[in-house]
């Protein structure tokens, strides 16, 4: 097999990164933009030691699961990689991906049920982060997502996976920024002032907090833009600016200030009110998050009476706060100190007295703990847990570990460590947090 060669292949399944998998004489070829059961013509674009990458040239016989994407920008915008596959089949594919990854990486063979669907499959995304740039000659402001495998911005006027008001706000910012001669960011030259726009939208109250990310200090014209935005939309409860002057792919810098209105929106979860700020980690799909919290709560109610719970990698302690009504005591640990303060405020605001919230590294916190817990909840970032953190978690737990993960690969790696150290993987339940993408959220129940 050589680069540039043309083949006709059948797509067997999808990989964990959303590419179709075909085989040529037993050799694996990954082909983006394909669906299981497609018969396609492809060109080999790269040959590696154990696999090749192919490029779709023609769909010869489409899979019965192919549909017309409801977004006209799907092919050129990289946000919804599998929107051309019917939704029920997306859920089946994601279950199969989880099963395959657990087997291949974790050597774990367990039944993986169908993914629990998102209550909404359109307008579900309640956090929007658009990079901003500017055309060279006309100085037109561009805002949207990056084309796949590039940093070229697709100028998006309409996105059906986010609330409609967000499209209107972005369009207002595009036009008003150009009118005020506010420059868009040039990533290569590290010039231009307006770098990103971040919108947090409340599913509960249908209002927004808008954050303008700046490559420099707040200017007079940015202040005018913020005020005009605040005055023009009754749904905008606040406008903030965030300063990020570093050459980095990280969106937000360390300094945020509120320019107009409030610096938070309110969201409701499990009957509790949460304040969500510009820098707050909170699930982008609140209704799917609610499904996850209810699933965990149902397990606890069926197996425990008022357990002691450790909530690790807690963010703003959303899980711990939502479980507080079925727990004797919740202890929460999170390293981001802003999230810790927000979690404490949230607990106080909701009159929750049986939760202790601490700031610091989870592994360091585990080392110092002498108390044992009935349930240890692990909800780490995509990189997963360290082996030492898993070891400490097992020592601290006298019942079950509940592992919440957004990355099947690191989940499988960590579950193998737990299994090899005597734990039993009781169940795996995937949830669809990011519809029409290859991303999958999983909740795993582990008996220690």
pLDDT band of residue 140 (cuts 50, 70, 90) is: very high
As a whole-number percent, the residues of the chain with pLDDT over 90 amount to 93
Decide: residue 6, CB within 10 A, 0-12 exposed, 13-18 middle, 19+ buried. exposed
Q: Where in the chain is the domain with CATH 2.40.50.1070?
A: 127-269
Average pLDDT across the chain, whole number = 95
pLDDT band of residue 200 (cuts 50, 70, 90) is: very high
Q: Is the pLDDT of residue 68 over 90?
A: yes
Query: How many Cα atoms within 13 Å fall on the side-chain side of residue 314?
Result: 37
Q: Is the pLDDT of residue 281 over 90?
A: no
C-alpha span between 66 and 288 (Å, rounded)? 25
Specify the pLDDT at position 149: 80
Fold (CATH) for 127-269 = OB fold (Dihydrolipoamide Acetyltransferase, E2P) (2.40.50)
C-alpha span between 390 and 271 (Å, rounded)? 31
Specify the pLDDT at position 365: 95
* Contact call for residues 154 and 73 (beta carbons, < 8 A): yes
Which residues, 6+ apart, have CB-to-CB distance to 295 below 8 Å?
116, 429, 431, 443
Specify the pLDDT at position 289: 96
Q: How distant, in Å, are the alpha carbons of 132, 146, 313 from that of 157?
A: 13, 14, 36
Specify the pLDDT at position 24: 96
Q: Is the pLDDT of residue 4 over 90?
A: yes
Tokens of 434: 């990011």
- Tokens 């990020």 label which residue? 244
Q: Which CATH architecture has domain 92-119+285-447?
A: 3-Layer(aba) Sandwich (3.40)
C-alpha span between 7 and 370 (Å, rounded)? 61
Question: In what helix (H) or strand (E) does residue 228 lie, and over which residues does it extend?
Answer: helix 220-232
Q: Is the pLDDT of residue 280 over 90?
A: no
Specify the pLDDT at position 332: 97
pLDDT digits (tens, 9 = 90+) for 216-236: 999 999 999 999 999 999 999
Q: Where in the chain is the domain with CATH 3.40.50.150?
A: 92-119+285-447
Specify the pLDDT at position 3: 93
Q: Where in the chain is the domain with CATH 2.40.50.140?
A: 6-66
- Provide mean pLDDT across the span 26-40: 96
Specify the pLDDT at position 135: 93
Specify the pLDDT at position 105: 96
Give me the active site residues, please.
406
- Provide mean pLDDT across the span 119-126: 97
Fold (CATH) for 6-66 = OB fold (Dihydrolipoamide Acetyltransferase, E2P) (2.40.50)
Specify the pLDDT at position 211: 98
C-alpha span between 198 and 201 (Å, rounded)? 10
Smallest CA-to-CA distance from 11 within 77, 50, 65, 49 is with 65
pLDDT band of residue 50 (cuts 50, 70, 90) is: very high
pLDDT band of residue 257 (cuts 50, 70, 90) is: very high
C-alpha span between 124 and 164 (Å, rounded)? 11
Smallest CA-to-CA distance from 214 within 149, 275, 132 is with 132
């Amino acid at each position: 097999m050589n680069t540039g060669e043309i083949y006709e292949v059948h797509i067997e399944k999808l990989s964990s990164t959303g590419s179709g998998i075909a085989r040529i004489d037993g050799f694996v070829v990954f082909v983006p933009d394909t669906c299981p059961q497609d018969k396609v013509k492809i060109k080999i674009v790269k040959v590696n030691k154990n696999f090749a990458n192919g490029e779709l040239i023609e769909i010869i016989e489409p899979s019965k699961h192919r549909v017309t994407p409801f977004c006209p920008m799907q092919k050129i915008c990289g946000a919804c990689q599998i929107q051309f596959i019917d939704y029920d089949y997306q859920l089946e594919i994601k279950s199969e991906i989880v099963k395959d990854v657990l087997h291949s990486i974790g050597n774990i063979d367990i039944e993986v049920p169908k993914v629990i669907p998102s209550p909404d499959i359109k307008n579900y995304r309640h956090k929007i982060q658009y990079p901003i740039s500017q055309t060279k000659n006309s100085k037109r402001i561009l805002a949207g997502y990056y084309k796949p495998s590039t940093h070229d911005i697709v100028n998006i006027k309409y996105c059906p996976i986010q609330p409609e008001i967000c499209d209107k706000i972005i369009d207002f910012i595009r036009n008003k920024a150009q009118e005020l001669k506010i420059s868009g960011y040039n990533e290569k030259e590290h010039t231009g002032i307006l770098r990103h726009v971040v919108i947090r939208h409340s599913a509960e109250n249908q209002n927004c907090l808008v954050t303008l990310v700046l490559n420099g200090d707040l200017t007079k014209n940015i202040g005018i833009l913020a005020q005009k935005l605040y005055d023009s939309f009754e749904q905008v409860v606040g406008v903030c600016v965030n300063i990020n002057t570093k050459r980095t792919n990280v969106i937000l810098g360390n300094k945020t200030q509120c320019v107009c209105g409030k610096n938070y929106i309110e969201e409701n979860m499990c009957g509790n009110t949460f304040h969500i700020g510009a820098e707050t980690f909170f699930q982008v799909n609140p209704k799917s998050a609610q499904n996850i919290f209810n699933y965990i709560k149902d397990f606890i109610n069926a197996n425990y009476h008022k357990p002691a719970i450790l909530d690790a990698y807690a963010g703003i302690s959303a899980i711990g706060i939502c479980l507080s009504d079925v727990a004797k005591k919740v202890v929460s640990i999170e390293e981001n100190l802003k999230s810790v303060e927000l979690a404490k405020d949230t607990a106080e605001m909701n009159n929750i007295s049986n939760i202790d919230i601490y700031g610091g590294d989870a592994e360091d916190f585990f080392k110092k703990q002498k108390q044992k817990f009935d349930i240890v909840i692990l909800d780490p970032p995509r990189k997963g847990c360290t082996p030492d953190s898993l070891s400490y978690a097992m020592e601290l737990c006298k019942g079950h570990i509940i592992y919440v993960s957004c990355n099947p690969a690191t989940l499988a790696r960590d579950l193998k460590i737990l299994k090899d150290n005597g734990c039993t993987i009781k169940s795996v339940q995937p949830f669809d947090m990011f519809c029409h993408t290859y991303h999958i959220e999983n909740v795993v129940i582990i008996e220690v």
